[in-house]
Amino acid sequence: MMLKYFDLQRYTAQHREQLQAAVSRVVDSGWYLLGNEVKAFENAYAQYIGTAHCVACGNGLDALSLIFKAYMERGLLHPGDEVLVPANTYIASIISITSSGLMPVLVEPHLDTFQIDAQQMVKHVGPRTKALLIVHLYGKCAFTNELLSLCSEHELLVIEDNAQAHGCLWNDKRTGSVGHAAAHSFYPGKNLGALGDAGGVTTNDEVLVGIIRAIANYGSNKKYVFQYVGQNSRMDEVQAAVLSEKLKWLDQDNQRRTLLPNIM
């Protein structure tokens, strides 16, 4: 018999009743997009992560791209600017940079942790380096004091890719609340996973939130006014209802996962 490392079907079945009730609530409501379920999840997740805001969106890749595009609209990033990023991240981190017209600069990991190495990173900082996309890989926090002080010394924007680290702590803060903005994927197999695609951005930056909400809504914050080059990236009400339920069990689920053999 083959034992699965993580059996999503079995895990989901444990919570079948609560998840079915959440889905039925949305089915019966007659409201399927941009409604109260999304608002409730945004509030609950922002509170969990420890930021003033959460913006729900279609998936983790969109969450990352929306952050870069919003910083460009705001004039804090410009086409061709360099973004430092771990070389061993998932391809989505890199695509979010290139698809926004920015230049990824790949940084090798520390061989003890497989997280981005501050000493390697600093070798790549040049006049066009404007941001670090730090990726908390394998459920672990990638921040170090050295890394954060290098970022402030070089005045880099710090954007977190928290797709693999929901609930992870850096001192007394959660990852996703430490940098200027953070992207989260709620792909089904993630620590906090939807029953389909979903993503979100957390930040304390209210101006950034306004631009991200507009870009994700065809570039518009006001009916028939299209201020930015937009896209369509929405979280469904069904996924928001499911995620609000699953958020209640996240810490407990993470604790169970950490009981598994730890190889890093």
Q: Does 161 bind ligand PLP (CB under 6 A)?
A: yes
Query: Residues 10 to 39: which contact ligand PLP by CB under 6 A?
Result: none
Instruction: Give least dist CB 136 to ligand PLP, A.
Output: 8
* 3-class state of residue 106 by DSSP: strand
Of the candidates 51, 175, 185, 244, which one interacts with ligand PLP according to CB under 6 A? 185
* 3-class state of residue 117 by DSSP: coil
List, in sequence order, every residue forming a beta bridge with 56; answer none if it has no partner: 200
**Strands 173-174 and 169-170, bridge-based pairing:** antiparallel
CB atoms within 10 A of CB 115: 22
By rule CB under 6 A, what string of x and - marks binding of each residue 114-143 to ligand PLP? ---------------------x--------
Q: Which residue's C-beta sits nearest to ligand PLP?
A: 60
* Amino acid type, 179: G
The 103-107 sheet, strands edge to edge: 53-57, 199-203, 181-185, 157-161, 129-135, 82-86, 103-107
d(CA 35, CA 256): 33
Name which of 185 and 217 has its Cβ closer to ligand PLP.
185
Reduced 3-state DSSP string for 18-74: HHHHHHHHHHHHCCCECCHHHHHHHHHHHHHHCCCEEEEECCHHHHHHHHHHHHHHC
Number of residues that bind ligand PLP (CB under 6 A): 15
Name which of 57 and 72 has its Cβ closer to ligand PLP.
57
Binding segment toward ligand PLP, per CB under 6 A, in 59-67, 75-83, 118-126, 140-148: 59-67
Instruction: Give least dist CB 149 to ligand PLP, A.
Output: 24
Q: Does 202 bind ligand PLP (CB under 6 A)?
A: no
d(CA 22, CA 24): 6
By rule CB under 6 A, what string of x and - marks binding of each residue 73-112 to ligand PLP? ----------------xx-xx-------------------
Name which of 51 and 185 has its Cβ closer to ligand PLP.
185
Q: Does 66 bind ligand PLP (CB under 6 A)?
A: no
Using a 10 angstrom Cβ sphere, with 0-12 exposed, 13-18 middle and 19 or more buried, the burial of residue 137 is buried
Q: Does 60 bind ligand PLP (CB under 6 A)?
A: yes
d(CA 61, CA 52): 22
By rule CB under 6 A, what string of x and - marks binding of each residue 164-183 to ligand PLP? x-------------------
Closest CA to 230 of 240, 244, 220: 220
Instruction: Give least dist CB 40 to ligand PLP, A.
Output: 21
Query: Residues 203 to 262: which contact ligand PLP by CB under 6 A?
Result: none
Task: Report the interface residues with ligand PLP, using CB under 6 A.
Answer: 59-61, 89-90, 92-93, 135, 161, 163-164, 185, 187, 197, 199
